[in-house]
Structures are given as C-alpha cells and as structure tokens.
Amino acid sequence: MISMGFRVKLLLSMLAVVALTAAVSLVISLNRVEQANDRLFRIRVKEQLQYLPREQAERLNEAQAQAAQFVQREEVQVALEQKDGNRLYKLTWQAMAPVLAESLLKKLIKAEEQPDQPPVIHVPKRRFRITASYLVFLGEQGEFLLPEGSINGYFQSRGQREFRDKIDDLYQGLVGLNKSATGYLSVGSQNGTRRLLEVVCLPVKQAEGGRTVGTMIMGFPVNRRSELALNEISDLSSGVWVDGALLSSTIVEADLPKVEKWLRKNARAMKKPQADKHEFLELNGVPHKVFVAPMDSHPALPKAHKVGLYDWSQSLAVQSEIKAQILGIGAVMGFVAVGLSWLISLGLFKPLRRLYRATMQLREGDYDVRIPVRSNDELGRLARAFNETAEELSLKNRYRDVLNKVADKEVAEELMAGNGHLGGKTHEMTVVFCDMRKYTQITQGMSPEQSVALLNEHMTALTRVVHEHEGLVDK
C-alpha cells in the first residue's frame, strides 16, 4: 500500500477542491449560457414564425372570404350539382377574377366569349396580389369536373395534372368536409423546381343547408419575399417540409439534401414536445441548430412543418470562450491552491515534526526533552500537553531511582504503580540476617568510601542469592 505524506495529502485535497469547483462552475456556466441562447433562439423563432405567414395570411383570408361567398351562390351550386364544368369555370372567371392568376384567367373561357374589357382588379398600393394558379372542382363522389374544348388544354399541363393527382390521393377526406379547410402541397414548376402551394378547399352545399354537392379547391403559390427579407437581416434560413420534400428559397440548394436527410432521421422525434432539441446539423463546416414547427394544416391535407436553420457557430464560440476562461481561472486557482497548501503544510508540518522527534526522544528515555510553545491554537495546546506529560514522566523516573536505592526493585515497582497498602499483611517467610565477622577491625583503618565499597560488594552477592530465591531485600 502506497503511503502518502501529510503534505501530499493536503496538496491533493486542495487540488481536488479546486478541480471540483472549476468543474461545477463550468457545467453551471455552460448550462446557463445554453439556456440563455436557447431562450433567445426560441423568441426569435417565435417572432419569425408569426411574422412570415402574417402578411400572406391577411391576403389569403380576403381570397378565402371571396371564395366562400362564391360557393354560396345558387347558380354555382346548381352547376356543380349538374356537373356542368364549363358553366362552373365561366362563373369562376366572372366572380373570382381578383384572386385568379392571369394565366388561369386567360384560359378559363374561350377566346370568342371573352369580353373586350377584362374584369377590373383593384390592388391596394404597396401590396402585391395573391392569386390562385391552380383551380379544380370535385363532384359529390370525388370526380374531377373540368371544362371541355380548347381551354381544357391548360388543365392538362404537367403542373396542373400533378396538382390533380395529389388531390385525387386526398379526395376521400376532401369530399367529406363540412367547412373550409386549408393546407399545403408541393408541385413541380416549369423550370423543374418544386413549388409550395397553400391550398384552400371549400365545400359547396345545397341551398338551405342541404347535402354537400362538391368541393372547390384552389392552390395559391406561397410568396417567399418575406422569407428572403428575413434571411437578409438575420442568420435564419427557413423553408417548408411537406410531401417529403423541403421547399426553400433561402437554404442553399446544395444543402437541401442534407437537411432533408436530417429531417427524415429525426421525423419521429419531431412529434414529441420540445422537438427542436436535436443534434446540430453541420453544413459546410458550420454548425446549425434546426427548429421544426408544425404549420396549421387540415387533417385531410398533408402535414406541413416550418423548418429553420440557425447559424449556431457564434453561440458555440461564446461557450468555448467561457469554457477557456473558466479553465484558465481554474488553472490559476490550482497554482494558488498549491502555494497556499505549501504554506499551510509548513505551518503544520514543522510543529508536528518537532513533536514527532521529541516523542522519539521521550521513548528512548530522554525525559528532559521539551517542545517550544509558539501559539495558543491546537498545536500550541498539544505542545503544552506534551511538555506536561514529559515533566510527569521525568518526575516519576526520579522517584523510581530514589525508591530503587532505598527499597527492593519489586517493592519500588509496586509503590510506583500505586499498589502499596498500609496496615501490613501476614505471610510465612524466611529472614536472612547477615553480619560480617570482625567488621569493625576490618574497616577501622578504611576510609568511608572504602567501607561503602566493601559493603556493596558483600550486599551484591547476598542480594543475588535472595533474588534467586524470590526474596526481598529490606535493608
């Protein structure tokens, strides 16, 4: 087992405290920064989600209100019930001109039937007109009602056929509508790109609340001007994910497949709350945070999601800077802790070392050793207690020496141990009385020192014999 000294333990303890403090500070700081950035990100996303469709929604509501009035006309209901496609589209041309695209208006009626003056369309200043480029009527059983003759060619174009194919896949939900419904579809355009449509579906019912005799469906291309404007003033690139395709005018075309792949990978997670908490999407070496929010869409139409890419590199750079600062401060604190622990260890180690050396001397029998008392703290009290203990041991040692000189060693030990009792005891014993013959004559001419030496020599031999027989020397 490895034995560590006091200084090493103290140093490691200080470093552990500093490391733990730095780690906790780092985690808390990065978490707070992440929460602040995420909160700011959510606020921006919410503002942009509210702003992007606002202008379009206002104009679309106007078109939807006009279409709602149109489907309530009795002649429209009769034409739809009779499956008169030509009549339906002629009525549409007459009543719905302000909300129909020019290309559709020109094809809705035969050239010889067109009046000299086209319908007057009033557009407020500083506003562009939102118009429907796609129009179709569904019969009561979901069949398409198309005009006959030369104008039918317009409805056989690639984009119009794709629009009808998508509606055909959804007709079961559309013919059962009780009220108007809106949603989103994507169709191909003439230049080969995908186009986002906002679809408005209005059920046509018989007068006085009878059965539904058909459905009028219009497709309005979504204007991307506001999306482009937001992209210019912020780091947000947005688009719409519908029908398994991502449609965007702000996301770089080369990045669309990567974003679509990410969306498919996280499709299931996006249905859960807080669906924007996914891994970052890296595009051209730049990390992006992706938000996905469901758009208002009727269940009978495909589900659409608003998708946004936000450049998260600046936020990560701030986090990295904070991380570096905290680690730097932690390193400085580590050096400071090493210095403080060294100074503290000196203040503790020197008194302890003195105490250890004095204890070893005391153990070896040096009862005169003392430790200088230099403080009134615990170490000072410990040194004072050691000195008192050494003094007591020194005194006991002197008592033992004195007793050993005047009494038998065994008796002295009993007395030092506190086992002596007054009153005496009754024992059977053998007493040896020894007298030196002619002692007076022998010592008459000796000095006192010589007399004592003679007695000691005699008593040493006698004491040895007494001790061999487990006896005691009294005198």
Which pLDDT belongs to residue 323? Answer: 79
Residue-wise pLDDT tens digits, 97-130: 888 887 777 766 653 355 444 444 444 444 446 7
Q: Say how many C-beta atoms besides its own lie within 10 A of residue 76's C-beta.
A: 21
Across 244-264, average pLDDT = 84
When pLDDT is averaged across residues 315-342 and rounded to a whole number, the result is 79
Instruction: Return d(Cα 77, Cα 79) in angstroms, integer.
Output: 6
Least-confidence region, from 271-280, 297-306, 366-375:
271-280
Q: pLDDT tens digits for 409-444?
A: 666 666 666 666 656 677 777 777 777 788 888 888
Taking 80 as the threshold, does the pLDDT of residue 209 lie above it? no
Count of all residues that appear for the chain in the document:
475
Question: What mean pLDDT, rounded, does the chain reach?
Answer: 77
The pLDDT-based confidence of 66 (bands split at 50, 70, 90) is confident
Element (H, E) at 290: strand 286-294
- The 8 Å CB, 24+ separation contacts for 344-348 are 344/10, 345/6, 345/7, 345/10, 345/11, 348/6, 348/10, 348/379
- What is the rounded CA–CA span in Å between residue 104 and residue 193? 20
d(CA 130, CA 101): 8
Radius of gyration of the chain (CA): 54
Residue-wise pLDDT for 372-386, tens only, equals 888 888 878 888 888
Which among 202, 168, 164 is positioned nearest to 183, based on CA atoms? Answer: 202
What is the full DSSP assignment across 372-401? Answer: ----SSHHHHHHHHHHHHHHHHHHHHHHHH
- Output the six-digit token pair for 174: 């559309």
More confident residue, 87 or 209: 87
> Residue 333's closest CA among 9, 38, 90, 19?
19
pTM of the full structure: 0.59
Select from 104, 201, 202 the least CA-distant residue to 147: 104
What whole-number distance in Å separates Cα of residue 159 and Cα of residue 229? 28
Question: Stretch 217-234: mean pLDDT, rounded?
Answer: 70
Closest residue by Cα to residue 217 from 71, 82, 91: 71
Rounded CA-CA distance 413/407 in Å is 10
How many degrees, rounded to 5, is the angle at CA 427 between CA 425 and CA 428?
A: 160
Please report the sign of the dihedral spanned by the C-alpha atoms of residue 205, residue 206, residue 207, residue 210: negative
SS3 74: helix
The strand pair at 281-283 and 212-221 is best described as: unpaired
Q: What is the DSSP string of 201-251?
A: EEEEE-TTT--EEEEEEEEEEPP-HHHHHHHHHSSEEEEEEETTEEE-SSS
The helix (run of H) or strand (run of E) holding residue 449 is helix 448-468
3-class state of residue 467 by DSSP: helix
Which residue did the predictor score with more confidence, 7 or 457?
A: 457
> What is the C-alpha to C-alpha distance for residues 343 and 324, in angstroms, rounded to an integer?
29
CA distances from 298 to 134, 199, 308, 353, 440 (A): 19, 10, 22, 85, 141
pLDDT given for residue 423 in this prediction: 61
- Average of per-residue pLDDT across 270-286: 64
Residue 457 exposed, middle or buried by CB count within 10 Å (0-12, 13-18, 19+): exposed
- Residue 135 is inside which H or E element, if any? strand 134-139
**Statement: residue 402 has pLDDT above 50:** yes
Q: What is the mean pLDDT of residues 298-304?
A: 90
User: Which range is least confidently modeled, 71-85, 96-110, 440-454?
Assistant: 96-110
Check pLDDT > 80 for residue 69: yes
| pLDDT of 472 | 72
One-letter amino acid of 450: Q
pLDDT on residue 216: 92
Statement: residue 37 has pLDDT above 80: no
Q: Give the pLDDT score at 271.
A: 55
**CA–CA–CA angle 91, 97, 98 (5° rounding):** 145
- In percent, how much of the chain has pLDDT > 90? 2
Which of 122-131, 163-172, 374-383, 393-402 has the largest mean confidence? 163-172
CB 214 within 8 A of CB 71: no
Contact 172, 186 (CB under 8 A): no
Asked whether residue 24 carries a pLDDT value surpassing 50, the answer given is yes
Judged on CB neighbours under 10 Å (0-12, 13-18, 19+), 223 is: middle
pLDDT at 145 over 80: yes
Per-residue model confidence (pLDDT) at position 282: 82
pLDDT value at position 430? 79
